[in-house]
Amino acid sequence: MSEKTTDDGLIRNVALLGRIELTDEEAQTFGRQLAEIVAWVDKLQELDTDGVEPMAHALDVCNVLAEDLPGESLPSNKALANAPARDGDFYKVPKVIGDSQ
């Protein structure tokens, strides 16, 4: 692969969107890596895909989940056995909206 790098501003913007702080060295490294990824994607554009049917998945996908059948519910005491705090039959969590008291 070439030593081409991606624009530093683009790398910094992506890091900002991801709320990631980067050193200058990390930004250069990620810029080179992103340029290599883009080069590989560009290479894929050279493939002849005429006559190839588009698909959503490389393999057939099927539902492997068990059928959803009604059953006996877990008793509240067992469901809340490991709760750090509870209020009767409910989990007690810190208030996140409004006054914190």
| 36: containing domain | 8-44
Q: Who has greater pLDDT, 75 or 58?
A: 75
Distance between CA 58 and CA 44 in Å, rounded?
A: 16
Beta strands in 28-85 (DSSP E): none
pLDDT at 3 over 60: no
pLDDT at 2: 45
Q: What is the CATH number of the domain that holds 18?
A: 1.10.20
In a domain, 19, yes or no: yes
Q: What integer is the mean pLDDT of 36-63? A: 88
pLDDT at 95: 85
Distance from chain centroid for Cα 100: 31
Q: How many domains does the chain have?
A: 1
pLDDT at 6 over 80: no
Residue among 64, 55, 3, 51 nearest 29 (CA): 3
Tens of pLDDT, residue by residue over 8-31, are 889 999 999 999 999 999 999 999
pLDDT at 43 over 90: yes
In contact, 80 and 91? CB cutoff 8 Å:
yes
